[in-house]
Amino acid sequence: MTSILARWTVSAFLLVAAVTLAHAQQFPSRPIRLISPYPPGGGNDVLARLIADKLGDALGQRVVVDNRAGANTIVGTDLVAKSAPDGYTMVLVPNSFVTNVGFYAKLPYDTVRDFAPIALVALSPQMLVVHPSVAASSVKELVALAKTKPGYYSYGSSGNGSVGHLAMALFDMMAGVKMEHIAYKGTAPAVTELLGGQIPLMMSSMLSVLPQVKAGKLRLLAVTTAKRSPAVPDAPTIAEAGVPGYEATLWYGLIAAARTPAPLLERLSGEVEKTLKEPDIIEKLSRQGVEPYYHGPKEFAARVRDEIPKWTKVIKEAGVRIE
């Protein structure tokens, strides 16, 4: 009896595997929906449309971008969590996908269990910049200044809970300093105040502040990525400039519903990897201050798992409240 049951189990497993493989070989047989959890026209939407066009060409099926904004990306992301696990619905999420765990006591989905990562596709390096009047030309000098006057120095951001805010909150914690956060309604007014000297420093996207750095209106101290940025190769990372282990990067990744068959995830991930190597994609992304950066399903899943406790701790200890 045991032998018969074992043979039946193996046969059933092989049948399921064969059906899954056949499905993967036929995939896709209809258009794919790529959800952008933001309104049309923003950075996430631009990236989603670039990927959709190239991925559609590679797969031989249309990839249709569907904008589903709301609740700090939760609305669009939840649609994928509740979609069929067949590879025909995915969402392009920024790293608010992991920080939302710290901001909201109850989400309509489980960030780890309800999704299948497809690929990390891009990074948007943040830059630690200061007004020229600040007597610091390096991260170490900035930390020394901040330690002499706790709470004296302030930094701006595009809003409470924004990437720049969290990046600076992490910097404060890891560098052992205390600086005051000033939230603005958007990046543009914060940068304007920084250029005018009303605030001494901030962390902001490369797209927003690199032109002012090149013009000598702001001083670049470091970038927030784990590795140096090709756009500013002479600028150190914060980790190598005096705060070991520091990394705070805005990233974008594609995810599908949990239980999506591995062969489908691998097919989609492989095509994304090829797409990110195309010269026109690299050039178009660089104009948005974004760097193509590929990680496959396993590496991307590991990043998600690692960053949830990291950012939840920062949010709780710094008392960050989302707008």
Residues 143 and 160: their CA atoms lie apart, in Å, by: 23
Higher local confidence (pLDDT), 10 or 206: 206
CA 87 to chain centre: 21
Q: Is the pLDDT of residue 322 over 50?
A: yes
- Is residue 165 within 8 A of residue 159, CB to CB? The reply is yes
Q: Which residues pair with 202 in a beta bridge?
A: 129, 156
6 pLDDT exceeds 70? no
Answer yes or no: are the C-beta atoms of 202 and 156 closer than 8 Å: yes
More confident: 11 or 168: 168
Distance CA 110, CA 93 (A): 15
CB 190 within 8 A of CB 184: yes
86-135: pLDDT as tens digits: 999 999 999 999 999 999 999 999 999 999 999 999 999 999 999 999 99
* Per-residue confidence band for 15, with pLDDT thresholds at 50, 70 and 90: very low
pLDDT reported for residue 97: 97
For residue 288, pLDDT beyond 90:
no
> For the packed helices 96-103 and 297-318, what is the interaxial angle rounded to 10 degrees?
40
Is residue 5 predicted with pLDDT exceeding 70?
no
Measured CA to CA, the distance from residue 258 to residue 260 in angstroms comes to: 5
The mean pLDDT value for 290-297 works out to 96
Average pLDDT over residues 1-30: 59
- Check whether 192 has a pLDDT greater than 70: yes
User: Please, where are the H alpha helices in 90-204?
Assistant: 96-103, 139-148, 163-175, 187-195
Confidence of residue 253 (pLDDT cuts 50, 70, 90): very high
pLDDT (average), residues 51-62: 96
Q: Average pLDDT of 221-228?
A: 96
pLDDT of residue 4: 58
Q: Is the pLDDT of residue 321 over 80?
A: yes
- pLDDT, residue 13, reads 46
- In this prediction, residue 14 carries a pLDDT of 46
Averaged pLDDT, 153-179: 96
pLDDT at 323: 64
Domains annotated for the chain, with CATH where assigned, are 2-124+250-318 (3.40.190.150), 126-223 (3.40.190.10)
The contacts of residue 161 (CB under 8 Å, 6+ apart) are 72, 99, 103, 315, 320, 321, 322, 323
